Structure 1
Amino acid sequence: MPDVFETFAHRVDDGADTSETIEPARVAVGASISLGLMVLTGIAFVLGFWTGTQNEHDLAYDHLVWEGIIKVGFATLCGLLAAAVVLALAMIAIGVPWVRRQRDARRR
């Protein structure tokens, strides 16, 4: 059986700490943004699902089960689409300023 500590000995810190210290305020901001995005996409899914249930399709169903599957499936797809759109827009709103800050920092 191989010795794990021998195998990964090159990855053990040699005492030189070159990493940056993570500020608690940045962690809190990141966590609040993540939580806000989760809540926002959840609300968007529910509203999209509700919108999908409000639309009736002009289909002739052979069986009641197929009618239920199609209606629930359509409403679920509407909810997923709404959540994906809201998440994409939020990522653009967060990502564009971040990229600009990174470019400005590299130019200095």
Structure 2
Amino acid sequence: MPDVFETFAHRVDEADATAPPVDAVTVAKGAGISLGLIVLAGLAFVLGFWTGTQNEPELAYDHLVWEAVIKVGFAALCGLLAAAVVLALATLAIGLPWVRRQRERRR
């Protein structure tokens, strides 16, 4: 069986001299934006879950367990939908200016 580390050693040991250096400011900005999106999605999930508990579906339940499962499931779906909407809007708000900057750089 071939040794994986020996087979791909040239990729790890040799530094790519043509690659630009990693800019620490860009990495820090990206990490800050990612952390902000995580917090924003978490808040959206909590508010969506709370909204789901306030607006329960009107169903006739056969058993108490099914009532709990349906109510918690409905609230969780509302939370997931709220978080997904917030992340989609944030992606558009961040992505569109980035795309415009990339297009201007190529001109």
TM-score norm. by structure 2 comes to 0.91
Gapped regions of structure 2 (runs ≥ 5)? none
Pairing 1:48–2:48 present: yes
Helix, strand or coil at the partner of 1:33 = helix
Post-superposition offset of 1:12: 4.9
Aligned letter for 2:79? G
Post-superposition offset of 1:4: 2.6
TM-score norm. by structure 1 comes to 0.90
Helix, strand or coil at the partner of 1:28 = helix
Deviations 1:49-94 (A, max 9, x none): 0000001322110000000000000000000000000000000000
> Could you tell me which residue of structure 2 aligns to residue 20 of structure 1?
20
Gapped regions of structure 1 (runs ≥ 5)? none
Post-superposition offset of 1:24: 1.1
Residue correspondence of structure 1 range 65-104 to structure 2 within 5 A:
65-104=65-104
Could you tell me how far apart the structure 2 residues matched to 1:16 and 1:25 are? 21
Post-superposition offset of 1:2: 1.1
Mean Cα deviation higher: 44-53 or 23-32: 23-32
Residues 15 and 82 (structure 1 numbering): CA distance in 2 closer, same or farther, change over 3 Å?
Answer: closer
Helix, strand or coil at the partner of 1:31 = helix
Residues 16 and 68 (structure 1 numbering): CA distance in 2 closer, same or farther, change over 3 Å?
Answer: closer
Deviations 1:13-54 (A, max 9, x none): 555511111111111111100000000000000000000000
> Could you tell me which residue of structure 2 aligns to residue 105 of structure 1?
105
